[in-house]
Structure 1
């Protein structure tokens, strides 16, 4: 039985934010050192930025990039990272038990970001530091001139402000792993006062409140409710985080992995994203009613990804020693794609997301020190979403073949989101089935007849891209699998595939 998707151009979910598909870099393992920054590399520019990596990142057209963390932020002293490099202090970095030479600092990040072409999303330290440190950082970054911190920035050669608009009020402060862990109430009070002070420096900025670190913690979603009650009127977004691992036990106190999911269960785990998003929206709306506010709280899903076991050993207190350096398979990529569609489906409330992380840690892009760089297959899904998910998400009513697992019931083989970009209709489709699937999209839209169909698939779900075979899993343009009949789009999706169908209007 084919899957039928009903679309009416007047029934809309919401406008897609230009920040909806972004990423994240952190001073963690080899994300920065030997990832995006390696002055000794033969492909490095005069700033030490790896051009082979930079060009891959630029092709993603990311809406926003979060920096500098992450757990790193809760011990971060930004004043160590500015001024002449030769005068900067080398320090212990305790979140990831590394050495931080501060050769890639605050202004190096902004120099790199200008080349990338994305908007910054800065995180302040509300772990070991607080209100003064946060407001001073905003002054350094955003105030034009005539004050201590703004003039210090100018003395460092940066005449124009960095003009950072989005600021995270700390990171994962309910997590037992976090430096400066806090209760929801004390964090909410601190974040409220920090946000007020930061906005007194620059009233054009937006702030992001830390939500629960993961649905796997007992604090979820109570943490969100309590902290929001303290800060609802002074912040603009609530953050949520989630990583999905086919072997990780739901109880985070258990170190041993559980039995790995079979393929149908693993590919269905994006349902956990849908559930989390709806639960956090409900929590926000409860607090909105409780505090009698007219403001709608939007979401920043500023850490999300599939997770896999590391393939390189991490060595503590060694610069650039990798953490969670791993390959993703075609199977991982299909789940990653469905997670992206879960986000896109709620574009009405989710306005910022950051895939985590960009390079070398459960990454889109892998590098070797002094060696080559290549892309995990997940890179191509992100490239499609970040470049093409523009415009408005349309409401879809779908019916099709369902499957069942021990954990999930009534899972559709076809996972889809349809976007109206003004000039074309874009169908993003994941086929979770081992069989070819037929899809019929019924619309109220007149089409021009122009069609393109990009497909990402592989003969084996375990296929990866490696340094020896970096193009093993690549998207390809396919012909003859999409046709038009009046206002109807007929699609044939290959087994276990990610598909992007573009139809001119």
Structure 2
């Protein structure tokens, strides 16, 4: 099978925002406790931060970290996680007990150690305008008020200076504590936004859009909420999770096509309201997640185990197939940089995460770690518009999609990267990539595919990590005055990256 890809160095979709490579930390399961934070672990510092996890996070390269939720935030009292006296609370969202040993100050210090910007979410479920104003003043005001001086007394002399603020979480969802109609939420979000801007005019605000494209309110929710908040917010969120259902591997591998459509529909609504130059799209929760396991196993475990601290929930073991889909979802984000202003893969450690740990034991890279790391490190400059012709893949859910999913980025220096997903499960695919307007050389090629002797269900564990990028041989390059042609054969069920540089 073969596919032709045509591009031009001058056909630019838009700049690649560094915030596109964000992640997410929620007080859920073992994301924080025995994930980021485990006092007494052999690698932990005096603050209880696991050094092995921090090392992997720095390697992964997330640029923004959304915190503290997620569903957790809609019943969270931020004051519980600051100061010396911290109450133990029930967390209704995840049927667990929250000790509050790790809170706002700890996360600010942890994010600084990880080299990432904080995106802070406020509770608009059980709380509202005053509490949001209070936590902003606590975090960002220099001093001289009760709240800012309390922060200083709690050990942070300088303001945290958080710029990104989420106005609640998934308020369209009936599962959400404090669930609201679009009008109820839109009005509350607008009034909260007004006060936050009075306190700190430099904040960027994210209003909650739809929890998924299948919500019956999708579309009308966005229209209603944006009518209330127009001129007050900078971004609207979308949340998107994908999974393989009923053995339909082809549709699962085409998940990026669904994300493309989801983003395009939301962008169309923004345009319809005349807000194209004011409101960006924040895909601040996205990932692959087997929700059947959540429904069948994790919820039963929570109910049977009663109320306890940091239970093991949604700790998916990611396969080769999952990693290939994650790679293609990253390509979708790159193809939509003209509308997507930031994105956060959910979550960072243990909970549907690229990094896993064991209490007292090791931390390791899941299969999905690798495409995120490579895209976050290589996708810089601008994203290029590409045309794909050739073999197509028939899917039950999305109709025909490109057999090879592709995105490419180019820096001013002439260095760039091409990201390629071969959705064919049994056969290799030869690609012929024509890049007009520049002469390139390929200086590196890697692929993530099924390891020898394994199946597409291969996973990484604490004991062994067989799924990782390996060299992709055989890239042939020909250049002429009009541009460059790259020919390479992609293994079946693979995600690959070609690194290119200016041809001498």
Q: Give the structure-1-normalised TM-score.
A: 0.93
1:185-211 Cα distance to aligned partner (Å, 9 max, x none): 111011011011001111111000000
Cα 1:219–1:466 shift into 2, 3 Å? same
Aligned partners of 2:253 and 2:325 also within 8 Å: yes
1:123-147 Cα distance to aligned partner (Å, 9 max, x none): 0000111111111111111111111
State the Cα distance separating 1:448 from its structure 2 match.
Answer: 5.3
Residue 203 of structure 1 aligns to a residue in which SS?
Answer: coil
Residue 457 of structure 2 aligns to a residue in which SS?
Answer: coil
**What is the aligned counterpart of 2:486 among 462, 485, 489?**
489
Aligned to 2:470: 476
**What is the aligned counterpart of 2:267 among 281, 290, 302?**
281
Number of matched pairs: 486
Which structure 2 residues correspond to residues 45-84 of structure 1 after superposition, within 5 A? 45-84=45-84
**What is the aligned counterpart of 1:440 among 402, 423, 432?**
432
Aligned equivalents of 1:448, 1:46: Cα separation in 2: 49
1:207-234 Cα distance to aligned partner (Å, 9 max, x none): 0000011122211121111111100110
Aligned partners of 1:285 and 1:297 also within 8 Å: no
Aligned partners of 2:324 and 2:448 also within 8 Å: no
State the Cα distance separating 1:478 from its structure 2 match.
Answer: 3.2
Aligned partners of 2:270 and 2:276 also within 8 Å: no
State the Cα distance separating 1:294 from its structure 2 match.
Answer: 7.4
State the Cα distance separating 1:149 from its structure 2 match.
Answer: 1.2
Aligned partners of 1:400 and 1:414 also within 8 Å: no
1:346-399 Cα distance to aligned partner (Å, 9 max, x none): 001101100001111111111112222211111101101211111100111111
Aligned equivalents of 1:18, 1:63: Cα separation in 2: 7
Aligned to 1:251: none
1:402-448 Cα distance to aligned partner (Å, 9 max, x none): 12133332222110011112231210000111211111221224335
Aligned partners of 1:135 and 1:197 also within 8 Å: yes
Aligned to 2:154: 156
Structure 1 range deviating more: 485-494 or 144-153: 485-494
Aligned partners of 2:163 and 2:202 also within 8 Å: yes
Which structure 2 residues correspond to residues 231-380 of structure 1 after superposition, within 5 A? 231-247=229-245, 260-288=246-274, 295-308=277-290, 309=293, 313-314=301-302, 315-380=305-370
Which structure 2 residues correspond to residues 183-194 of structure 1 after superposition, within 5 A? 183-194=181-192
Aligned partners of 1:365 and 1:375 also within 8 Å: yes
Aligned to 1:255: none
State the Cα distance separating 1:477 from its structure 2 match.
Answer: 2.6
1:55-97 Cα distance to aligned partner (Å, 9 max, x none): 100112211010000000001111111112xx11111111111
Aligned partners of 2:258 and 2:398 also within 8 Å: no
Residue 360 of structure 2 aligns to a residue in which SS?
Answer: coil
Aligned to 1:250: none
Structure 1 range deviating more: 177-186 or 433-442: 433-442
Aligned to 2:116: 118
Q: Over aligned residue pairs, what C-alpha RMSD do you find?
A: 1.5
Aligned partners of 1:453 and 1:482 also within 8 Å: no
Aligned equivalents of 1:192, 1:427: Cα separation in 2: 41
Aligned to 2:7: 7
Cα 1:320–1:501 shift into 2, 3 Å? same
**What is the aligned counterpart of 2:501 among 485, 499, 504?**
504
State the Cα distance separating 1:482 from its structure 2 match.
Answer: 4.3
Off by >4 Å, runs of 4+ in structure 1 = 310-314
Residue 158 of structure 1 aligns to a residue in which SS?
Answer: coil
State the Cα distance separating 1:283 from its structure 2 match.
Answer: 1.1
Aligned to 1:383: 373
Cα 1:440–1:31 shift into 2, 3 Å? same
**What is the aligned counterpart of 1:425 among 416, 437, 445?**
416
Aligned equivalents of 2:382, 2:277: Cα separation in 1: 22
